[in-house]
Amino acid sequence: MAGGNAAIVAHAIVINPNLCIMYRGYKAVYIELFISKNVITERMINLLRGIRGATTVVKNESTEIIERVIELLTAIVQANEFEVEDIGAVIFSSTPDINATFPAIAARNIGWTEVPLFGTQEIDSPNGIPQCIRVLILLNTDLPQKEIKHIYLREAVVLRQDLKQESHVSES
Ligand SMILES: O=C(O)C(=O)C[C@]1(C(=O)O)C=C[C@@H](O)C=C1
């Protein structure tokens, strides 16, 4: 390895003689070192973060579920300002009293067609709130964890009152 790269290596995890990952703050840089060909390439890799959100519906009806999920996803995107291309995957859960449709359909309706989507049923806890749809967006981002804005709308605002809320949509 050339002497000029000594400072880089000091902050790097060396995977093998031709590959290391360097951290600059929250950003990771994937570095390939093709020493024999005298080529060094860098490619930025962002860290994976999770963005949480939740909302509720009044009725177990497909139209309302889709509308509420679109409202939630739109609010999350606005608050966190990311591109669809940076989404790794999205996981939805619905409480057992909501089965009229799949929340994933709402994500596709707003153009998240290439994003891996998954839906599951939330634990039927006696302490939970009814008719609730939760989301976890796995996002490649250079934002530190504390700057991620989690969004809870409608009756779901009660779920994480310890978090700062960006917005509150009242039940209508
Ligand atoms: O954040 C929520 O949606 C919650 O209901 C809170 C909480 C938690 O205790 O962290 C509880 C249950 C859910 O599966 C996810 C998270």
Q: How many CA atoms lie within 13 A of 163 on its CB side?
A: 22
How far, in Å, from the CA of 47 to the mean position of ligand 1? 23
- By most ligand atoms within 8 Å of CB, the mutation choice from 55, 127, 135, 159 for ligand 1 is 159
Q: Considering only CA atoms, which of 139, 65, 59 is closest in space to residue 105?
A: 65
Name the residue type at position 48. Answer: L
pLDDT in tens, 29-76: 666 665 555 556 666 667 899 999 999 999 999 999 999 999 999 999
What are residue 22's DSSP bridge partners?
12, 29
User: What CATH number does the domain located at 47-158 have?
Assistant: 3.30.1330.40
The full set of domain ranges for the chain reads 3-45, 47-158
Token duo for residue 121: 């049923």
Contact 57, 109 (CB under 8 A): no
Measured in degrees and rounded to the nearest 5, phi and psi for residue 10 equal -60, -25
Q: What is the pTM of this model?
A: 0.79
ipTM over 0.90: yes
